[in-house]
């Protein structure tokens, strides 16, 4: 089995057309990155059939950009990814302040379990 076959193939979110008028698809590492983004952007309770799915980052909207807030965000992100994304092993989650007072950078380092390849994702999040 190839690594991309193990990582899977699925619909892009949002759904968009592919070549030749067919529905577009995403696979391999792109699908994993999309899944991480979906977990970060989903609130627990938002999905009827999976009420615990998501990370809960919206609870940090309007929170102060302090070390305590950033540490709590990193903990929540690590827990959510560990629970909901079985294709990776999270090695580090760092939440650092951005150039603007309300911006934080979420840096997620992880290992793809299919081939033990390290990868990372940087996600901007505005607290206001």
pLDDT of residue 14: 76
Statement: residue 88 has pLDDT above 80: yes
For range 13-42, the mean pLDDT: 86
Give 98 or 23, the one with higher predicted confidence. 98
The predicted model scores a pTM of 0.87
CA angle, 92 as apex, 2 and 62 as ends, to 5°?
A: 120
Decide if 81 contacts 68 (C-beta within 8 A). Answer: no
- Give the list of residues 6+ apart from residue 45 with CB closer than 8 angstroms, or none: 51, 54
Q: How confident is residue 27, by pLDDT bands cut at 50, 70 and 90?
A: confident
Residue 19, pLDDT score: 79
Domains observed in the chain? 3-126 (3.10.450.40)
pLDDT given for residue 6 in this prediction: 67
């Amino acid at each position: 089995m190839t690594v991309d076959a193990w990582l899977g193939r699925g619909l892009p979110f949002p759904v968009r057309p592919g070549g030749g008028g067919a529905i577009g698809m995403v696979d391999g590492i792109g699908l994993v990155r999309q899944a991480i983004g979906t977990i970060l952007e989903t609130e627990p309770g938002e999905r009827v059939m999976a009420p615990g799915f998501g990370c809960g980052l919206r609870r940090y909207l309007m929170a102060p950009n302090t070390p305590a807030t950033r540490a709590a965000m990193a903990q929540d992100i690590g827990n959510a990814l560990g629970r909901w994304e079985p294709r990776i092993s999270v090695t580090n989650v760092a939440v650092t302040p951005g150039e603007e007072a309300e911006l934080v950078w979420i840096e997620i380092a992880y290992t793809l379990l299919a081939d033990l390849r390290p990868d990372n994702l940087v996600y901007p999040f505005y607290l206001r």
